[in-house]
Structure 1
Amino acid sequence: MTPTPLVLVPGFWLGAWAWQEVADRLRADGHRVITVTLPGLEPDHPDRGSVTLADHVDAVVAAMESAGEPVVLAVHSGAGVPGYAATDRCPELVAHAVYVDSGPGTGALNPEFSLAQMPLPSWTELEEDGNSLEGLSPEHLARFRERAVPEPGGPVREAPTLTSPARRDVPTTVLCTSLTSEQIRAAIAEGWAWIGGLAELRDIRYVDLPTGHWPMWSRPAEVAELLGRIADNPA
Structure 2
Amino acid sequence: MDILLIGGLWLDGSAWDEVAAALGPLGHRPVPITLPGQGDGSTSATLDDQVAAVLAALDAAQDKVMVVGHSAACTLAWLAADARPERVAKVVFVGGFPATDGGTYADFFPIDEGVMPFPGWGPFEGPDTADLDEETRRRMAAAWVPVPEGVAKAVVSLTDERRFDVPVVIVCPEFTPAQAQEWIDAGDVPELARVKHIDFVDIDSGHWPMVTRPTDLARLLAEA
Query: Normalising by structure 1, what TM-score?
Result: 0.86
Secondary structure, aligned partner of 2:159? coil
Show CA shifts across 1:43-79 (max 9, x none). Answer: 632xx2x322111111111111112221111110110
Determine the C-alpha separation between the residues in 2 that align with 1:131 and 1:51: 31
8 Å contact from structure 1 (residues 176, 208) kept in 2: yes
- Aligned with residue 184 of structure 2, among 175, 184, 188: 188
Change (3 A) 1:15 1:110: closer
Alignment check: 8 A CA contact 2:110 2:116 kept: no
Count of residues in correspondence between the two structures: 220
The aligned counterpart of 1:233 is none
Say whether 1:42 aligns with 2:39.
yes
Q: CA deviation at 1:30?
A: 3.0
Q: Which residue of 1 aligns with 2:201?
A: 207
2:9 maps to 1:12: yes
2:90 pairs, out of 96, 99, 102, with 96
CA contact (8 A) 2:109 2:119 kept: no
Q: Distance in 2 between matches of 1:63 and 1:140?
A: 30
The separation in 1 between residues aligned to 2:25 and 2:115, in whole angstroms, is 36
Aligned with 1:173: secondary structure?
strand
Matched with 1:78 is: 72
- Equivalent runs, 1:57-136 vs 2, <5 Å: 57-106=51-100, 107-110=103-106, 115=111, 116-127=114-125, 132-136=128-132
- In the alignment, the residues of structure 2 paired with residue 211 and residue 151 of structure 1 have an alpha-carbon distance, to the nearest angstrom, of 24
Matches of 1:152 and 1:15, distance apart in 2: 13
Contact 1:114–1:157 (CA<8 Å) still a contact in 2?
A: no
Sequence identity (%): 37
**Which deviates more, 205-214 or 8-17?**
205-214
Paired residue secondary structure (2:129): coil
Counterpart in the other structure of 2:158 = 162
State the partner residue of 1:32.
29
- Structure 2 gap segments, 5+ residues each: none
1:22 aligns to 2:19 (yes or no): yes
Aligned equivalent of 2:138: 142
SS in 1 for 2:15: helix
- Alpha-carbon deviations, 1:53-111, whole Å to 9, x = none? 11111111111111222111111011011211111010112111100011222221455
Shift of 1:140: 2.1
Distance 1:55 1:189 in 2: 33
Q: Displacement of 1:112 after TM fit?
A: 7.9
Name the amino acid aligned to 2:104.
Answer: A
- Relative to structure 2, which stretch is displaced further, 114-123 or 148-157? 114-123
Q: Give the Å deviation of 1:187.
A: 2.0
| In structure 1, distance between residues paired with 2:3 and 2:37 | 22
Distance 1:227 1:111 in 2: 28
Q: Which runs of 5+ in 1 are unaligned?
A: 231-235
Work out the CA distance in 1 between the residues paired with 2:61 and 2:127.
32
**d(CA) in 1 for partners of 2:137, 2:190:** 30
What is the TM-score when the length of structure 2 is the normalising length? 0.90
Root-mean-square deviation over aligned CA pairs: 1.9
